[in-house]
Amino acid sequence: MDSCSFLLFSFLITFMTVLASKENDHELIKSDQISLLSLKSSIVLDPHNSLATWVSISSSSSSSSLVDVCKWSGVKCNKESTRVIELDISGLDLHGVISPSVANLTALTVLDLSRNFFTGEIPHEIGSLYKTLKQLSLSENLLQGNIPQELGSLDRLVYLDLGSNRFIGSIPVQLFCNGSSSSLQYVDLSNNSLTGEIPLTNHCHVKELRFLLLWSNKLVGGVPSSLSNSTNLKWLDLESNLLTGELPSQVISNMLQLQFLYLSYNHFVSHNNNTNLEPFFASLAKSSDLQELELAGNNLGGEIPSSIRHLSVNLVQIHLDQNRIHGSIPPEISNLLNLTLLNLSSNLLTGPIPLELCKLSKLERVYISNNLLTGEIPVELGDIPSLGLLDLSRNKLSGSIPDSFANLSQLRRLILYGNHFSGTVPQSLGKCVNLEILDLSHNNLSGNIPVEVVANLRNLKLYLNLSSNHLNGAIPLELSKMDMVLSIDLSSNELSGKIPPQLESCIALEHLNLSRNGFFGLLPASLGQLPYLKELDVSLNRLTGAIPPCFQKSSTLKHLNFSFNLFTGNVSNKGSFSNLTIESFLGDSLLCGSVKGMQACKKKRKYPSVLLPVLLSLIATPFLCVCGYPLVQRSRFGKILTVFDREEVEDEEKQNRNDPKYPRISYQQLIAATGGFNASSLVGSGRFGHVYKGVLRNNTKIAVKVLDPKTAVDFSGSFKRECQILKRTRHRNLIRIITTCSRPGFKALVLPLMPNGSLERHLYPGESSSMNLDLIQLVNICSDVAEGIAYLHHYSPVKVVHCDLKPSNILLDDEMTALVTDFGISRLVQGIEGTVSTDDSVSFDSTDGLLCGSVGYIAPEYGMGKRASTHGDVYSFGVLLLEIVSGRRPTDVLVNEGSSLHEFVKSHYPNSLEGIIEQALIRWKPQGKPERCEKLWREVILEMIELGLVCTQHSPSTRPNMLDVAHEMGRLKEYLFASHFSHQETQGEASS
């Protein structure tokens, strides 16, 4: 063959090879296209979903056809655009199942389908991607069944996240034992229902593992010894399982890079039959990067060893609470110089509080409650500059309360109840101007209640408890300056004098207990006008006269105790007295009336009818109003409703003309619609005003939120803020504004009336005429609320932090759709001018000094002086979930249990939740649904608890954002719907 022929032959061979290669490339991308379209066919899409771009392309071999697939949403190809190497369609709210065809994407390195609503099982075919797949994330879906063992074939897998699904069964052995050189670095199987042991046998090695998250499952057995080979581990979270055996000292000792170790709420024991913690603490000595250590809720025995001094200087939090640790607190704890949180509560610790503890200058929260500590409080505790919470309650501490606490400028909560403290209440506590909780109850304190303390603690927002001491003298009038306090308990002391009527200034008060003292004289009628008072106990005093009718007319009072006083007169069973029995009036022998169990009153002699008009004319003038309820109809704003100011009306009409987008509703129309803002039209009250129902002339039902004139000077900015927010936000789960009405001395928002009232009315049907909701409705409502708040945080034209999310601010329309309302104290994170805050927070403005929300729903960082942020709304939503499930108001838990609702539920999690779940089932079980669905309902309730606990974590940075929360609630709603639909189909097939 001559040279020309050879060159021609070589060219033809090269040309044919290139042509074959291109043809092969086309076939490969076409195969990937078919696989993607097959996956799409198994997904339920709406027209606006980004996967709508996945459309079939021509079968021609043009280069444009090859590129089109690589431009599909969520698809990434290699440089040559010949293969799909990444598929990320996470967070798109996709419904359906995962098609096995995804395994035909044989060049795939990343598969991320997380944060969707996929149901069914994981296709075992994914295991065939063993040559390429490095990242697999299917978390936060509705997947169920067993984790397929074929995933163990994925030799190159680095990242595996299957958390927050509904997987059952054991963890496949193959997942960790797929060869001697596993590449796995991140494994998250948390928040499922996995059982069995952690499958790491001695011949299994996961040397590259850095994160192992198995929390909230039902795993049993011990921590496998072969985990000690994972020397690169940084994060080990086994919390909330059923693990047993000795604390894994040998395993931990090799983890030199460990940063986070969570072993709480299992059944671990310490060394030597649960008597020795020394080996475990010693095993952590080489983990120089350790930041958080949690061992709570294991009933661990032994003493805190002196080797605690060898723990990492980077340690920020240590949780040893709810164990059986005894002995003294070792002075060597002072070596943990960066510690901000120390929780040793609910143990058997003895001895004094060591002085060395006071050297931890960065401490912010100290919990040593419910132990057996003795001695006095070290004066040096007052030298810790950032201390915001100190809980030494339920110990055997004695001596006086140190004056040095006056130095704690950041102190928010001082809880010392249940000890043996003596002396007086120190006047120096008045310098702790940021205190929100002061509980000195159940001690041996004596003397008067210092005027200096109550005068300077006007910012006290949660509760003041001085009960069960030996305090004497009168109640200082300065106590009335605590206008934001929720609860005051002065019971079981030796106080005397008259109950000051000035207490009516404590306008936020919900609980007042003055029982077991020596108070005499009349019971002030002003107390009955407190707008939010729910509980009043004045029993075992020497009060005289009639019980003022105000208490009976109160719309908020639920629990009353007037027993063992010297009250006289007639008591009816109307209003707030309708549910009372003789138990509330024991020992008041001079009372009579129609209350159940009370002696009937003797019939009075009737006067001739001719004298009645004369008597009425004599008494009408001096007694025009009783307890603030006028006989002559007046508005709450002091004007007789039939008299109007012409100039003000003209101003109002001018204002309405300037805002043509909203209908004109005049002041007179609002008066007519609400019956003159009559008490019978009152449907709700808040810190900033009152809400009245009404009907306009065109039969439109409205709700009128009127700014309270008492707070108009301080909170008028709130009205403007709410108007700004409502006019700029549009969402199906946010209340819409009809119009505003503003004139001198009067400001109101006109809103549509929600026929089904607030969520609060339905959560506590015994307190109103509302009916019970069922679990399906509650999940739908919570999903609606999450969607509304997520819109405010992430999509609203003006980003908003609501700051007061609670059941009374969630309204229900005629279809039981939830609408979030009351933006009275919201903070605008993004200003009207468009300036954006980089940290999703904003400093206080016109509402400085107020709570960022309502007591019980307030994020703990607000109590530490932090700025309002979206994290605070997430916390409030979490409290809402826990309230729904537990059936307990967070304020009741705070007052009666001395803890937050998060702490109360967490103390039962995960092994003692049965009682809470059972009660929730009794309250919320869907009517008419088969008992076989009870397992489903239990799962949903448990997931609501878990989401509530995650949302109410103490650290704001560890809480999810509202988009994630809304997604989780959507998953629950979808799961309930899918399971119910599946059950109906099964029933239909059975009947046919």
Residues 713 and 808 in one domain: no
Is 865 contained in some domain?
yes
Amino acid found at 458: R
We report the CATH number of the domain holding residue 710 as: 3.30.200.20
Return the higher-pLDDT residue of 796 and 601: 601
Q: pLDDT tens-digit profile of 362-397?
A: 999 999 999 999 999 999 999 999 999 999 999 999
Expressed as residue numbers, the domain containing 791 is 756-992
Whether the predicted pLDDT of 875 surpasses 60? yes
Residues 742 and 776 in one domain: no
Segment of 16-20, 743-747, 965-969 carrying the highest mean pLDDT: 965-969
Domain end residue (candidates: 738, 753, 768): 753
Residue 838 has a pLDDT of 33
What average pLDDT does the structure give for the chain? 82
Residue among 720, 701, 733, 885 at smallest CA distance from 805 = 733
Domain end residue (candidates: 63, 87, 111): 87
Residues 838 and 710 in one domain: no
Mean pLDDT of 643-672: 53
Residues 907 and 829 in one domain: yes
pLDDT band at 896 (very low <50, low <70, confident <90, very high): confident
Residue 648 has a pLDDT of 37
Mean pLDDT of 789-809: 85
- Is the bond preceding 910 in cis, omega lying within 30 degrees of 0? yes
Is 853 contained in some domain?
yes
Residue 390, number of CB atoms within 10 A of its CB: 24
Mean pLDDT of 901-921: 87
Helix (H, G, I), strand (E, B) or coil at 777: helix
C-beta of residue 933 within 8 angstroms of C-beta of residue 983: yes
Buried b (16+ CB within 10 A) or exposed e, 690-722: bbbbbebeeeeebbbbbbbeeebeebeebbebb
Residue 768 has a pLDDT of 52
d(CA 335, CA 360): 8
pLDDT band at 315 (very low <50, low <70, confident <90, very high): very high
Residue among 925, 571, 608, 534 at smallest CA distance from 767 = 534
d(CA 929, CA 917): 18
Is 781 contained in some domain?
yes
Is 861 contained in some domain?
yes
Residues 745 and 771 in one domain: no
Residues 968 and 845 in one domain: yes
Question: What DSSP assignment string belongs to 490-519?
Answer: --SSEEEEPPPGGGGG-TT--EEE--SSEE
Phi, psi (rounded to 5 degrees) for 569:
105, -175
> What percent of the chain is predicted at pLDDT more than 70?
80
Is 198 contained in some domain?
no
Whether the predicted pLDDT of 941 surpasses 80? yes
d(CA 796, CA 483): 34
Instruction: Find out whether 218 is annotated in a ligand binding site.
Output: no
Question: Among the listed ranges 265-274, 386-395, 794-803, which one has the minimum average pLDDT value?
Answer: 794-803
pLDDT band at 727 (very low <50, low <70, confident <90, very high): low
Residue 58 has a pLDDT of 44
Residues 782 and 850 in one domain: yes
C-beta of residue 773 within 8 angstroms of C-beta of residue 781: yes
Phi, psi (rounded to 5 degrees) for 629:
-110, 100
Cα angle at 924 between 923 and 927, to 5 degrees? Answer: 110
Residues 873 and 767 in one domain: yes
> Roughly what angle, to the nearest 10 degrees, separates helices 962-991 and 934-951?
180
Residues 768 and 890 in one domain: yes
Residues 780 and 889 in one domain: yes
Q: pLDDT tens-digit profile of 349-364?
A: 999 999 999 999 999 9
Whether the predicted pLDDT of 180 surpasses 80? no
Return the higher-pLDDT residue of 730 and 97: 97
Return the higher-pLDDT residue of 802 and 491: 491
Residue 719 has a pLDDT of 57
- Residue 801 CA from chain centroid, whole number: 15
* Residue 804 annotated in active site: yes
Mean pLDDT of 151-162: 93
Mean pLDDT of 261-267: 95
We report the CATH number of the domain holding residue 847 as: 1.10.510.10
Mean pLDDT of 296-315: 95
Residue 139 has a pLDDT of 94
Mean pLDDT of 416-435: 92
pLDDT band at 122 (very low <50, low <70, confident <90, very high): very high
Segment of 16-25, 697-706, 715-724 carrying the highest mean pLDDT: 697-706
Domain count, the chain: 3
Residue 923 has a pLDDT of 85
Q: pLDDT tens-digit profile of 18-48?
A: 444 455 656 778 888 999 999 999 988 776 6
Domain end residue (candidates: 30, 56, 87): 87
Residue 815 has a pLDDT of 87
Is 29 contained in some domain?
yes
Is 717 contained in some domain?
yes
Dihedral angle sign, alpha carbons of residues 656, 660, 662, 665: positive
727, 729, 731, 733: CA torsion to nearest 10: -80
| Burial category of 957 from C-beta neighbours within 10 Å (exposed 0-12, middle 13-18, buried 19 and up) | exposed
**Residue 668: enclosing H or E segment and its boundaries?**
helix 667-673
Residues 844 and 989 in one domain: yes
| Per annotation, catalytic residue among 321, 537, 588, 804 | 804
Segment of 105-114, 546-555, 742-751 carrying the highest mean pLDDT: 105-114
Mean pLDDT of 4-20: 52
Residues 739 and 878 in one domain: no
Is 426 contained in some domain?
no
